[in-house]
């Protein structure tokens, strides 16, 4: 069974940093493109970033470019999202999702990030 489990969310002050992790199991992690998608409370889905199977390609939503960094460790079956210079607008549930370069058939349960003083 494919499983994706996010961790690392929590409360952080504006301007602060946070690193999210997503552990995959039950599938060949290195064969999946991986993405981060976020959802503010009561709002819709917003794509954040994606990384190619071998980590050789990444890209970001304009709203997070220059502040967030996506990476992966295929030996550990783990995806990461380093988030810097956080603002209240970054508060959301962050989902990791895996699948193709554009669409994702596998999702984690999400981790909540709250940016507040």
Partner 1 sequence: EIVLTQSPGTLSLSPGERATLSCRASQTVSNSYFAWYQQKPGQAPRLLIYDASRRAAGIPDRFSGSGSGTDFTLTISRLEPEDFAVYYCQQYGTSQLTFGGGTKVEIK
Residue ranges in contact with partner 1 by CB under 8 A: 35, 37, 44-47, 50, 59, 61-62, 95, 99-105, 107-110
Determine the Cα–Cα distance for residues 104 and 80; give it in Å rounded to an integer: 17
Q: Which of residues 16 and 52 has its CB atom nearest to partner 1 in the complex?
A: 52
Q: Which of residues 85 and 109 has its CB atom nearest to partner 1 in the complex?
A: 109
CB of 99 to partner 1, least distance (A): 7
Instruction: Find, among 75, 73, 63, 3, the residue nearest to 38 by Cα.
Output: 63
Q: What's the token pair of residue 13?
A: 């002050």
CB of 49 to partner 1, least distance (A): 10
Judged by phi (left if over 0) then psi (alpha if -120 to 50, else beta), residue 96 lies in beta
CB of 107 to partner 1, least distance (A): 4
């Amino acid at each position: 069974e494919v499983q994706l489990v996010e961790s690392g969310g929590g409360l952080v002050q504006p301007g602060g940093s946070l690193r999210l992790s997503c552990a995959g199991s039950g599938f060949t992690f290195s064969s999946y493109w991986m993405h981060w998608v976020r959802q503010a409370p009561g709002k819709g889905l917003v794509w954040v970033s994606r990384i190619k199977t071998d980590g050789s390609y990444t890209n970001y939503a304009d709203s997070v470019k220059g502040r967030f960094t996506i990476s992966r460790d295929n030996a550990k079956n783990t995806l990461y999202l380093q988030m810097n210079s956080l603002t209240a607008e970054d508060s959301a549930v962050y989902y990791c999702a895996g699948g193709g370069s554009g669409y994702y058939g596998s999702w984690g349960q999400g981790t909540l990030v709250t940016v507040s003083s």
